[in-house]
Structure 1
Amino acid sequence: MAANPSPRKRRLKNAPATVIEPAALISPSELGDAARRAAEEILVAGQAENTVRSYRSALRYWCAWAQARYGQALALPVAVPTVLQFLVDHLARGPIDQPVCELPPAIDELLVRSDFKRQAGPLKMNTVVHRLAVLSKLHQLRRQPNPCEDPQVRQVLSSAKRAASKRGEIVTKKTAATREPLEAMLATCDDSLEGIRDRALLLFAWASGGRRRSEVADAIVERLAKADGGNYSYRLHRSKTNQDGSQAQPDKPIRGPAAEALRAWLEASAVTEGAIFRRLWKTRVGPALTAESVANIVRKRATLAGLEGDWAGHSMRSGFVSEAGRNDIPIGDVMAMTEHRTVQTVMGYYRSGELATNAVGNLLGQRPRPGTATPE
């Protein structure tokens, strides 16, 4: 004899079937609005802080330019003629000392006055390329037809790059802090708490492989380990080329003068956890430095040392690579420290340093080897 079903089973049996309207279904090939926004947020959260800031700045400018140029908000997908107009409005033409562009002066002045542009006139080629890349990325995220991939747009940009090269426009690089300028900066650091911090910061950034300013700002005590001989090693959890920290990287050694300076700072500041490098309020230690603060410290020390050049946080990174080239350090060892992903990226600085001390750069100053014939 079958047992009577439980009240719960009877309720389930008698319950009406749930009907899902076809209109409520989402095609597997498309993301719903909520899922798409969530995906965009994840993508943005996975980017470095500086990258996110640059994306926002670029999109802010696109919106301001469209409003000023056409009197209406920027809407996706952006039409190809609009992108072409953006290019001719901002790409430089004419001689290098008097470049011109097609952006009407009244609109140009408005964008400057509204703090969307730093100065009137054409934008640098790198800036135009970056803003086009950001617009392209936005169209990809929104699954919209991408005007930046249009053959006309690609052709105009390619021609503009060649014209810029012929005109003598060069890509500017931050001045490299090789050994001599680094030592000059260190000489400006006294025994005050600020001096002790800045000396440790400069040496940490340089000696641990030319760390990026964001990596210096994010450095924490918990990833610092003591090593033999009073030295340290630092485990870089994530970097620009390893955003999710999934790729195992060797610990970065901090040795000699860099280790001594770091130990002096930790003792003087009494920092035992959290951010290593911090803001100072007179003699009081505050919260972590920002990436921009790290760059400002480099600029400040370069100025105090009387060094000419365009100094920034990146000067530590380029200086480390250039100095390694000067000392014939194998490129593989350099990349293990810097975590550059491609040889092409690091080679420019490395070769500059290498050629600076190589005999090939001073052939006229070399004496002919004995027995070498002199051409008549």
Structure 2
Amino acid sequence: MTALIHPTQAQLTEADQKALTDLYIRGTPANTLRAYERDLIYITAWRNAVFRSAPEWPEREEVALRFILDHARDLSTADISESARTAAEALIAAGLRQSLACPAPTTLDRRIASWRAFHRMKNLSSPFDAPLLRQARAKARRAAARPIVSKSAKPIVRDLLHKMLATCEPGLRGMRDRAILLLGWASGGRRRSEIARLRREDIDLEEFEPRGLVWIRLSETKTTARGMTPKLVIKGSAARALVAWIDAAEIQDGALFRPISKAGRPLARDLSAEGIYQIVKYRLEKAGLSRDMASPHGLRSGFLTQAALDGVPIQAAMRLSLHASLAQASAYYADVDLDRNAATDLLE
């Protein structure tokens, strides 16, 4: 990935190129860098399979158009000798593509967005900005449109959360899981990656004793850049659960949430995002519910859904959820049954 980022090679010294590359890396969220890397691998493999050569900079418009056309249809019905199908099968064999089915429009959009970003990094115009390519993208998006599928089968609203919390047994494991569930929900519905990245240094307990408040500083989120995320606050049972975990596990610094050993001791390493996923599934199962009922994203959707049910103004909920788009946050409010919407009781 770092070899790709050399914007104006003819105008910059080697030292400037190195400094600018470092700036791009430091100024780009880690998740975005990983997505760029995956997309670059995919684009390179696809181009080699179809054109027997690596990407060019700037890329030719006919190559970009071919990329859109090859990813805007179901190739399982294509002739086995067709180059688009042959290339797709090579990508499947390499573990870069799942099937011959038409990829989701969002997947195509993301890969094109990455390809355009690679051009910007090199201070080059993108072929995808050409009128024909822009129209082809729009048509491909419409042709392959799919119903929106929720990231969690069911939002973890307050009643469901309490059922999961009731399964958190005494001991460090139960205290940790309780703190994770409550912090993840009450702080605005945090993504599992955000929970996993939390450090003890991100938790401010100065106002816990006098006011019962715990302040949280996220390093970055999906919608905010590193260092630009506003501080969040939790109170009540969520704050007490987090402080209880910190005290019992004697977390002085480093990872806030950690795996528990078989001997019942917290380990020194971070609890991964996958670990958060498994905790949510485990607590659902312990509550006598299906593991498939919800995912960690259910904490996020559950927070906003509960806010809607309780009549909390969406702007207030968004100050904690940190949604960048009012339209996206509004979707959770729209999911609330109309007869349970607090606005229907205004006359009464």
Class of the TM-score when normalised by the shorter of the 2 chains: 0.7 to 0.9
> Residue in 2 aligned with 1:231?
212
Deviation at 1:262, TM superposition (A): 1.7
Instruction: Tell me: higher relative CO, structure 1 or 2? Use CA pairs within 8 A at least 6 residues apart.
Output: 2
Aligned match for 2:247, one of 267, 277, 281: 267
Aligned match for 1:255, one of 202, 225, 235: 235
Q: Is the partner of 1:234 in helix, strand or coil?
A: strand
Flag the structure with larger Rg: 1
C-alpha distance in structure 2 between counterparts of 1:100 and 1:308, whole Å: 38
C-alpha distance in structure 1 between counterparts of 2:319 and 2:26, whole Å: 26
C-alpha distance in structure 2 between counterparts of 1:356 and 1:55, whole Å: 44
C-alpha distance in structure 2 between counterparts of 1:106 and 1:86, whole Å: 14
Question: For the Cα contact (< 8 Å) 2:192–2:276, is it kept in 1?
Answer: yes
Question: For the Cα contact (< 8 Å) 1:325–1:354, is it kept in 2?
Answer: no
Residues 86, 310 of structure 1: alpha-carbon distance in 2 compared, 3 angstrom cutoff: farther
Residues 244, 89 of structure 1: alpha-carbon distance in 2 compared, 3 angstrom cutoff: same
C-alpha distance in structure 1 between counterparts of 2:156 and 2:249, whole Å: 26
Deviation at 1:93, TM superposition (A): 5.5
Q: Is the partner of 2:266 in helix, strand or coil?
A: strand
Question: For the Cα contact (< 8 Å) 1:219–1:276, is it kept in 2?
Answer: yes
Deviation at 1:118, TM superposition (A): 2.7
- Residue by residue over 1:316-349, the C-alpha shift from the partner in whole angstroms, topping out at 9 and shown as x without a partner, is 2222111111111012211221222332232212
Deviation at 1:301, TM superposition (A): 3.1
> Residue in 2 aligned with 1:9?
none
Q: Is the partner of 1:245 in helix, strand or coil?
A: coil
C-alpha distance in structure 1 between counterparts of 2:244 and 2:194, whole Å: 20
C-alpha distance in structure 1 between counterparts of 2:329 and 2:286, whole Å: 29
Structure 1 residue 171 corresponds to structure 2 residue 142: no
Structure 1 residue 68 corresponds to structure 2 residue 59: no
Question: For the Cα contact (< 8 Å) 1:84–1:153, is it kept in 2?
Answer: yes
Q: Is the partner of 1:340 in helix, strand or coil?
A: coil
C-alpha distance in structure 1 between counterparts of 2:286 and 2:98, whole Å: 27
What amino acid is aligned across from residue 160 of structure 2 in structure 1?
Answer: P
Deviation at 1:115, TM superposition (A): 1.2
Deviation at 1:310, TM superposition (A): 7.0
Aligned match for 1:83, one of 48, 53, 64: 64
Aligned match for 1:120, one of 100, 121, 124: 100
C-alpha distance in structure 2 between counterparts of 1:323 and 1:161, whole Å: 33
Structure 1 residue 35 corresponds to structure 2 residue 19: no
What amino acid is aligned across from residue 350 of structure 1 in structure 2?
Answer: Y
Question: For the Cα contact (< 8 Å) 1:295–1:312, is it kept in 2?
Answer: yes
C-alpha distance in structure 2 between counterparts of 1:335 and 1:344, whole Å: 11
> Residue in 1 aligned with 2:136?
156
CA RMSD of aligned residues (A): 3.1
Consecutive unaligned residues in structure 2, runs of 5 or more: 1-7
Consecutive unaligned residues in structure 1, runs of 5 or more: 1-26, 370-376
Question: For the Cα contact (< 8 Å) 1:328–1:354, is it kept in 2?
Answer: no
Aligned match for 2:265, one of 280, 284, 301: 284
Aligned match for 1:210, one of 179, 182, 189: 189
The TM-score with structure 2 as length reference comes to 0.83
Q: Is the partner of 1:198 in helix, strand or coil?
A: helix
Question: For the Cα contact (< 8 Å) 2:194–2:218, is it kept in 1?
Answer: no
C-alpha distance in structure 2 between counterparts of 1:153 and 1:300, whole Å: 47
- Map of 1:9-48 to 2, 5 A cutoff? 30-32=11-13, 34-48=15-29
* Amino-acid identity (%): 31
C-alpha distance in structure 2 between counterparts of 1:292 and 1:44, whole Å: 25
Aligned match for 2:283, one of 273, 298, 301: 301
Deviation at 1:360, TM superposition (A): 8.8
Count, aligned residues: 329
C-alpha distance in structure 1 between counterparts of 2:72 and 2:293, whole Å: 24
Question: For the Cα contact (< 8 Å) 2:190–2:299, is it kept in 1?
Answer: yes
C-alpha distance in structure 2 between counterparts of 1:192 and 1:120, whole Å: 49
What amino acid is aligned across from residue 172 of structure 1 in structure 2?
Answer: V
Question: For the Cα contact (< 8 Å) 1:230–1:259, is it kept in 2?
Answer: no
C-alpha distance in structure 2 between counterparts of 1:125 and 1:271, whole Å: 44
Residues 162, 149 of structure 1: alpha-carbon distance in 2 compared, 3 angstrom cutoff: same
- Map of 1:86-105 to 2, 5 A cutoff? 86-92=67-73, 104-105=84-85
C-alpha distance in structure 2 between counterparts of 1:353 and 1:239, whole Å: 29
Deviation at 1:112, TM superposition (A): 1.5
Structure 1 residue 334 corresponds to structure 2 residue 311: no
Residues 137, 28 of structure 1: alpha-carbon distance in 2 compared, 3 angstrom cutoff: closer
Q: Is the partner of 2:336 in helix, strand or coil?
A: helix
Residues 269, 37 of structure 1: alpha-carbon distance in 2 compared, 3 angstrom cutoff: same
Residues 303, 143 of structure 1: alpha-carbon distance in 2 compared, 3 angstrom cutoff: farther
Question: For the Cα contact (< 8 Å) 1:174–1:310, is it kept in 2?
Answer: no
The TM-score with structure 1 as length reference comes to 0.77
C-alpha distance in structure 2 between counterparts of 1:135 and 1:206, whole Å: 36
Higher deviation after alignment, 139-148 or 68-77: 68-77
Q: Is the partner of 2:329 in helix, strand or coil?
A: helix
Residues 360, 224 of structure 1: alpha-carbon distance in 2 compared, 3 angstrom cutoff: closer
